[in-house]
Amino acid sequence: MFDMRAQLASKFLSLNFFLLANEKNDDFTVPVSQIKKWMSDFYGWAQEMFKDRPYYAYGRNVTFAVEDGVFNKEKLKAVMEAVSEMGFSVFLKISLRSLSENLDFMMELSKQKCLGSLMVTIANKEVDALGDVEAIFARIKKMKVAVTLLGSMKDFFIAGAFSSPSLNGSDVCFFLQEPEACDKLNTLSKEMTPCQEKMVLCVNSEGLIFPCAGLMSSPRHSLGSVFDKDFFSTFRMEGDILEWAFVGPDLLPEGPVLSESGMPWPCRRHVAEVLTNG
């Protein structure tokens, strides 16, 4: 019989891990030792899951997203080194402001080969305060890592990203976090499609694990926690989540929409409904 749970689990090759400094800033709220242990279990689970299809093992990656402000560089480096040694490609998601404050450290990570790709979020509010943005782009280019810029068209223009001599001809992907057209439509133009291709394991800063970024604001849709013993044989993935994965959420044509978020409009619409209905 077609095992939907296993089918969906097979999509979880990649994951997003949100890191938040603890109060003393001597580690993250999920300690690095626990992240390493859980990632090692994830590696073992994926190997077992894909033993008949080893090609699935390629292209596994983990994106660590660091909050703005203080983060412990040694701890971040330790976790990135450990995870890249396990064979994961390591992406780092960071704001342009935080990146500009840590350029030497980022350069060090790229030289150590534990930084596979940089995902840089740009918010126009902060661009003015950064001064010479082109100088930051020039340093990014020297890191020789794949770069994705995340923001709106307006943010990219304000930062001068399209006219940047450093980025011109470089391997840079521009990722529109919120296609402006979605806001203008402001209605469901067609039926919701199944979510399975959009789903990716997301771990929040407390260690709770979710099937997609949107559901991170709804603790009851957590699959479990990185602190759970035997998470990979016990994780909850049933009911609503399977239905959304294989059919898509059943949304009314009109309803609340979550504002101020980088998520696509259908997710903002769905999450608003999930939060409203409890």
Q: Which residues bind ligand SF4 (CB under 6 A)?
A: 195, 198-199, 212, 214-215, 244, 249, 266-267, 270-271
- Tell me how far, at minimum, the Cβ of 174 lies from ligand SF4, in Å: 22
Q: Which is nearer to ligand SF4, 122 or 274 (CB)?
A: 274
Q: Which is nearer to ligand SF4, 224 or 249 (CB)?
A: 249
Looking up tokens 């980025």, which residue turns up? 167
- Tell me how far, at minimum, the Cβ of 276 lies from ligand SF4, in Å: 13
Instruction: Report which residue type is found at 81.
Output: E
- Tell me how far, at minimum, the Cβ of 116 lies from ligand SF4, in Å: 24
Burial class of residue 128, CB neighbours in 10 A (0-12, 13-18, 19+): exposed
Q: Which is nearer to ligand SF4, 116 or 266 (CB)?
A: 266
Residue 246 has which token pair? 């294989």
Q: Which residues pair with 56 in a beta bridge?
A: none
- What is d(CA 231, CA 223) in angstroms, rounded to the nearest whole number? 9
- Tell me how far, at minimum, the Cβ of 211 lies from ligand SF4, in Å: 7
Q: Which is nearer to ligand SF4, 123 or 188 (CB)?
A: 188
- What is d(CA 232, CA 9) in angstroms, rounded to the nearest whole number? 10
Of residues 41, 141, 84, 214, the one with CA closest to residue 92: 84
> Going edge to edge, which strands form the sheet with 15-19?
172-176, 146-151, 117-121, 89-95, 61-66, 15-19, 201-203, 208-210, 224-225
Q: Which residue is nearest to ligand SF4 (CB)?
A: 214
- Tell me how far, at minimum, the Cβ of 1 lies from ligand SF4, in Å: 24
- C-beta of residue 268 within 8 angstroms of C-beta of residue 261: yes
- Tell me how far, at minimum, the Cβ of 159 lies from ligand SF4, in Å: 28
Looking up tokens 């957590």, which residue turns up? 222
Q: Which residues pair with 225 in a beta bridge?
A: 208
Q: Which is nearer to ligand SF4, 93 or 198 (CB)?
A: 198
Residues 6+ apart with CB under 8 A from 195: 212, 244, 245, 248, 249
- Tell me how far, at minimum, the Cβ of 69 lies from ligand SF4, in Å: 27
Apex 95 CA angle, 27 and 103, nearest 5: 75
- Tell me how far, at minimum, the Cβ of 89 lies from ligand SF4, in Å: 23
